[in-house]
C-alpha cells in the first residue's frame, strides 16, 4: 500500500511540475507575442507619419487618375 501511495505522490508531483512548466511557457510566449505586437504598432505608427497622403483640393478626382497627374 505504501508503494502505491508513493507512486501516486510521484505522479502528482510530476503533473504539478509539468503544469508549472506549461504555464511558464505560456507566459513567455505571451510576452514574446506582446513584444512583437508593440514593435509592429510602432512600425505602423512611424510609417504612417513618414508618408503623408497629399490631396489637391482643386483636383475634382483627387489625383487618382493618371491623366490628372500630368
Question: Does residue 61 register a pLDDT over 80?
Answer: no
Q: Tell me whether residue 63 is exposed, middle or buried, using C-beta atoms within 10 angstroms of its C-beta: 0 to 12, 13 to 18, 19 or more.
A: middle
Question: Does residue 63 register a pLDDT over 70?
Answer: no
**Residue 36 grid coordinates:** 512583437
pTM score > 0.75 for this model? Answer: no
Q: Tell me whether residue 45 is exposed, middle or buried, using C-beta atoms within 10 angstroms of its C-beta: 0 to 12, 13 to 18, 19 or more.
A: exposed
Amino acid at each position: 500500500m505504501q508503494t502505491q501511495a508513493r507512486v501516486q505522490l510521484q505522479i502528482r508531483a510530476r503533473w504539478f511540475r509539468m503544469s508549472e512548466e506549461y504555464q511558464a511557457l505560456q507566459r513567455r510566449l505571451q510576452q514574446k507575442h506582446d513584444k512583437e505586437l508593440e514593435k509592429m504598432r510602432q512600425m505602423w505608427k512611424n510609417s504612417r507619419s513618414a508618408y503623408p497622403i497629399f490631396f489637391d483640393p482643386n483636383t475634382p478626382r483627387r489625383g487618382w487618375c493618371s491623366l490628372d497627374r500630368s
